[in-house]
Amino acid sequence: MTAALLFAALALIGLGIVATAASSTVRAGLLAQAGGAALLGIAGFYALAAGTTAGSGFTSAFAPHFGVDGLTAFFLGTVGLVAAPTLLFASRYLDATARGRTVAALTGAFVLTLVEVLCARDPLTFLAGWELMTLLPAATILVAHSDRSARRNVFLYVAVTHLAGAGTWVAVLLAAHAGALDGGATIGRGSGLQIAIALAALVGMGTKAGVMPLHSWLPRAHPIAPAPVSALMSGVMIKIAVYGLVRVLVDWLGVLPVWTGVLVLALGALSAVGGVVYALFQHDLKRLLAFHSIENVGIIVLGLGACLVLRARGADTWAALALAAALLHTLNHAVFKSLLFLGAGSFERAVGALELDRLGGLLRRMPWTGGAFFVGALAIAGVPPLNGFASEWLTLQALVHVPAYGGLGDGVAGAVALAALAATAALAVFCFVKVVGLVLLGPPRRDAVAHAVEAPLAMRSAMFFLGGACLVLGLAPGLLVGSLAGLAPWHAVVPTAFGLHPPGTGSLRTVGLAVALGVLVPVLVALRSRSAAAPAPAWACGQLVQPQLRWTSAGFTKPLRLVLEAVLRPQRQIAVRVQGGVVQEVAYSGRIPQLLDERVYLPALRSALTAAAHARRLQTGRLGTYVGYLIALVLVLLAAAKTGLIG
């Protein structure tokens, strides 16, 4: 059944790609792709629920092998759940020009590549798909945007992910050499080989996931991609890197030393807090959402780190629940982040730009799109009873139990991770209060916003489907927790319930909470409508209320910027124009620099370019010079062999 559904899904997506590339309209081809993605999601979640497998198991042989197990099935379901509405959205978002058809075909090919990586069961196929997963979005962005800035950002994206991606190659090839893929060889706990594989995977796969401090490509590439591609990149592509981390650290390597789990916790805490802090100070909506992807990957990595620490301490049940928390947040983030990127794409299409200070009032002018975006904002902010709250709450419970099974070091690590998660949750609420206030509420800040019209039905339907998924996954997360905990390669008994009731956590009556909110909200709305006061103009010290006097993104976050000034190092420029002794104009501009970029990556780039310029002098173009180089090299090697430096 699983194999049949999977083959049908892939065939339908393939036919959709062909139809998209060959037809004068992209709509029919994208609808076929969306249907195939829906079958893919059904196949994945069916295999997860039924506990069935298909195809080959993992092998170290360098020959194509494909298969599906429980972990693959979960990620296939996630890809299908996100890709189906995203491709439906794209059917009205993309036009029928040659560029639109190319983007549509590449988007379908991107989905097939994600499936290929998940189903790969040998090193060669996995690594080939991993590299293609980087190149296809880059090609799609370059087709959609050919300006110099886009080319530079794509170059940085490809360069960073390929250079750091060497860690993925090292991890997979070492694991294959040790026989870890076959399951027939056990890598010694704490051995040099085990540590080398784990660290290489953290570098290579952590970069692809956008884990700080290896994140610099993500806020550059995601915002410039077309909205459906942004949704797939942020919603599912970086989750394939999470799949790789789980596969290597949890499945292939066995029990890791405690300090590796603490290291993963530290990376998760840095990514979660750093991502949400930098998101707060962004002025472009899509760039803000990209930084929130870093934040939510940090939350996922926190759950994965808790799993590694608890497993090393022998707390198998809670280790399985921590893994379930990480996987549940993986699914939840895929859903609400795709919803938010699609909403941003709808806004961009309607008003032409996504600068926060130039939007406003879109909930009145685009009520269906704005309402769906509002649901996504509540979900990513962790507001109950939506799905973001459920997985963050389960992650919190897992982190609480980290100190209970270890010593002082575990207690400190667990406390820091808990503080990071709490701070992240609070700052996320703060950030999306700003986003909702500046984007959806208030008066429009320019004419294009005032004349915005609602998105087409297909685009609205896609967003409403994802919004409904946010609600369902928030109301009944317990339906998945047991199955996700069962994906742990060790035996752990975890009950499955309609609500979220893991052992030791108490009871979270999500359905009861939803019913109470459903009753309370209409009552409050009715009371508000009865006692509503007549509107009155705002008092601005006698001055007319102009758009320039309204709240801005920078003004909203200034208190936090002042508190974190020593860390963020904000930069300001103030220009005062004086005429006849009277101030005529004051111009202010400010920015929050990306410290890792400016203090680490840019100096490294400049050093690399300088070294390349020196090395380029060796390329004289004269054959005699090159022969001289070869003779000198031979003489050096002979001298080294003579002195015993080389054998």
Tell me the pLDDT tens digit for each residue of 430-464.
Answer: 999 999 989 998 888 888 888 888 989 999 999 99
pLDDT tens string 464-479: 999 999 999 988 888 8
Residue 280 CB burial class (10 angstroms; 0-12, 13-18, ≥19):
buried
The 3-state DSSP class for residue 254 equals coil
pLDDT over 70, % of the chain: 93
Give the start-end residues of each E strand in 382-507. none
Q: For residue range 93-128, what is the model confidence (pLDDT) as tens digits?
A: 988 777 888 888 999 999 999 999 999 999 999 999
Alpha helices in 476-601 (DSSP H): 478-485, 510-530, 553-563, 565-568, 595-596
Distance CA 271, CA 275 (A): 5
Over 80: is that where the pLDDT of 616 sits?
A: no
Give me the pLDDT at residue 485, please: 87
Query: Average pLDDT, whole number, for the chain?
Result: 85
Spatial contact of 499 and 509, defined as CB atoms under 8 Å apart = yes
Provide the pLDDT for residue 418.
92
Residue 506: pLDDT above 70?
Answer: no
pLDDT at 494: 64
Given a cut of 60, is residue 44 above it in pLDDT? yes
pLDDT of 125 reads 92
The backbone torsions φ and ψ at residue 467, rounded to the nearest 5 degrees and listed phi first, read -65, -40
Per-residue pLDDT at 88 exceeds 90: yes
Is the Cα dihedral 176, 177, 183, 188 positive or negative? negative
pTM: 0.89
Q: What is the CA radius of gyration of the chain?
A: 26
Q: Which pLDDT score, from 0 to 100, does residue 275 have?
A: 92
Confidence (pLDDT) at 178: 83
Q: Is the pLDDT of residue 24 over 70?
A: no
> pLDDT grade, residue 323 (50/70/90)?
very high
Residue 113 has what pLDDT? Answer: 94
Q: What is the pLDDT of residue 330?
A: 95
Share of the chain above pLDDT 90, in %: 38
Give dist(CA 607, CA 219) in Å, integer. Answer: 23
Tens digit of pLDDT for each residue in 345-399?
999 998 888 888 888 889 989 999 999 999 999 999 988 888 889 899 899 988 9
Residue-level pLDDT at 465 = 95
Paired strand residues for 591: 571
3-state helix, strand and coil shares in percent for the chain, rounded to the nearest 5: 70, 5, 25
Phi/psi of residue 284, each to 5°? -105, 130
pLDDT at 250 over 60: yes
| Confidence band for 541, pLDDT divided at 50, 70 and 90 | confident
